[in-house]
Homo-oligomer: A and B are copies of this chain.
Amino acid sequence: MENDFTSWLAENFSPANDKTILGIGDDAALLASPSEPNPPTTSSLLPREQQLTVVSTDLLSDKVDFLVKDISPVAIGYKAASVSLSDIAAMGALPLSMTVAIALEKKNSSPPFNSNRKTDQGSNGTPIQDLNFAKEIYTGIKESLRPFGVDLVGGDTNYHYGPLTICTTAIGTVSSKNVWRRSGAQKGDLLVVTGRLGGSLLGHHLNFRPRVAEATRIAQTTNIHAAIDISDGLAIDTSRLATASHLGAVLDLSKIPVSDSAVLLSRQISTMSVVDPQKGKGAIEHALYDGEDFELLLALSPDSAEDLFTKLANEIPLTTIGYFTDRPGLWEGRLDEQNCSKKELAPLPIDGFLHSL
């Protein structure tokens, strides 16, 4: 669904000015520096190295991305900021700045408008969430940004007649020579993932640490062909990486690093008596489809992968979980049969936690 709507957007908003290096369709946009005297073309082949500006926007709402009734405003702010930092990391970029817009919830206590006011006066309604609540959200945002030296540079705090809504825009920088896009994976490239996957709803989706430091280390160490962060789930995000690169992808389910939470969740649910669509889901399904892992998924050559593991396996949790193929689609297969002429591939359903249209 995201792909259809995103395609419509990309078709209808082709770049009009020469500062737009990469517009709609990736984890973040890439903009040429305004001070560049000779802006590059919009082609993927940039004429020479320069620092690009990276921008990504996310919107999170109560009852969709978190539950105000169950978690603290500090945790909500932390998640909102971290989600956008993760998008910047997925470009191999360094985040520097963030703007935040928040709509706190109020309810109608008097008519919000009348025939003489087409819009609210901005002062009607009864706040459900007060200023201290807003300050706690910003405290959570600060906790997310501080370890990475990222500045909150703009904050727009409002009330509206609806659920708490937070929009974060992260801005960062990356060299044009090192930037990671979703496109760029090559046939035979390996799929490497950071961390462990699945079961994020048990807590990880709120308290994860975005892979900003890891992205920087990896970008400094080896050549990455393509990357994405796992927000909607390993299956769908692998599929996006493959599609953007005009390839297919094979996942070796036996290699996927499954989180303890995914295992716990699969046991909890299988002992429950209520009818539930997730009943009986195994740990591996949680790892494939839960989403909100916010781990990095990387495409790189086997040589680069060997280099990466040699240099960084001690400091960053890295696992090879699959490879790219010229057969379009998402497949289940074995890594050790990658180069066999008669490898067996089974289609893998593409599903996930769809955050966007």
Contacts and interface: CB of A to CB of B under 8 A. Distances in A.
A256 interface: no
B64 A158 contact: yes
Interface string A1-40: 0000110110011011101101110001101011110000
Interface string A264-286: 01001100101010100000000
Contact of A113 (B63, B150, B169): B63
A82 interface: no
B151 A17 contact: yes
Contacts of A100: 57
Q: Which of A8, A34, A159, A268 has the most CB of B within 10 A?
A: A34
B23 A51 contact: no
Contact of A99 (B35, B51, B55, B353): B55
A356 B156 contact: yes
A45 interface: no
Contacts of A207: none
Q: Which of A22, A165, A205, A292 has the most CB of B within 10 A?
A: A165
Given A156-B59, A353-B122, A17 B169 contact: no
Contacts of A56: 99, 154
B119 A65 contact: yes
Contacts of A154: 23-24, 28-29, 55-57
A123 interface: yes
Contacts of A162: 61-62, 160-163, 165
Interface in A49-86: 50-53, 55-59, 61-67, 70
Given A171-B31, A357-B134, A142 B13 contact: yes
Contacts of A163: 160-162
B5 A63 contact: no
A218 interface: no
B201 A118 contact: yes
A171 B34 CA distance: 11
Interface of A: 5-6, 8-9, 12-13, 15-17, 19-20, 22-24, 28-29, 31, 33-36, 50-53, 55-59, 61-67, 70, 96-97, 99-104, 112-114, 116-123, 131, 134-135, 138-139, 142, 146, 149-163, 165, 167, 169, 171, 173, 201-202, 205, 232, 265, 268-269, 272, 274, 276, 278, 292, 353-357
6 contacts: A56-B154, A58-B101, A116-B269, A160-B162, A160-B163, A162-B163
Q: Which 9 A-B pairs have the closest CB atoms?
A: A162-B162, A167-B167, A34-B173, A61-B160, A29-B153, A59-B101, A35-B51, A57-B99, A157-B357
